Amino acid sequence: MTVDIAGFITDMKAHAVDHGFHVHAERHFIESFSLGQAWEVDLHPEEACEGPLEMLMVLEVDPRVILAFEDLMAQHHLELDEEQDRQLELPLFFKWALPPLPNPPDLLILATELAGVSGTTLPVEVSATDTFMSVTDPARRSLSLVGRLDFRLRDMFLREVNVCDVLECAHGLSMWLLEQSEPWLEGSDATGL
């Protein structure tokens, strides 16, 4: 009994389309030493395919977690206790990035506002990177936002994962970011707004 990760990703892409996203590309990486895997899906809200927002949905797969789940399934036939169930999870990330911003927002205020937009459905971490082209040029700040959810393998195996609320939240958050980013990008050559 194995977990159909490829099927889960296919279902996620279909659900994403149903919730207003365009899927642009999919990549599957396998790390040769650990055999860890990452499934990446490029997607954007239908209204924002031309940018400036970049968005990824990433599922990270630890082979040890998969093997532990399969061993427990062989012994217990889906009857896992709560502790085992909690330990056998895979993280799904939603990642947003904006180009360098001439007028970046205050990160604390942005994080507070994002908490109001995404609530507890999709907790989002905000970070920024300052890039200096030379010592005389001002810093160019880029924003990065990451939302993480952990899905139980048992639910993935039984195809009982409900992602509709998460995708609705991710779409709403994407649209909110696009709306908010207009003043942040004033004076840049970013297109799509």
- pLDDT one-digit tens code per residue, 58-102: 999 999 988 888 888 777 666 666 666 667 889 999 999 988 888
Task: Classify residue 190: in a domain, yes or no.
Answer: no
The answer as to whether 192 is a domain residue is: no
Give how many domains the chain has, as a whole number. 1
Residue 193 in any domain: the answer is no
Give me the domain span that covers residue 168: 5-185
In a domain, 191, yes or no: no
Q: Tell me if 117 is assigned to some domain.
A: yes
Q: Which residue type sits at 150?
A: D
Asked, as a colleague might, if the bond just before 52 is cis with ω within 30 of 0, I would say: yes
pTM assigned to the model = 0.85
Confidence at 132, pLDDT banded by 50, 70, 90: confident
The answer to whether the CB of 156 falls within 8 A of the CB of 8 is yes
Query: Residue 134: which pLDDT band, with cuts at 50, 70 and 90?
Result: confident
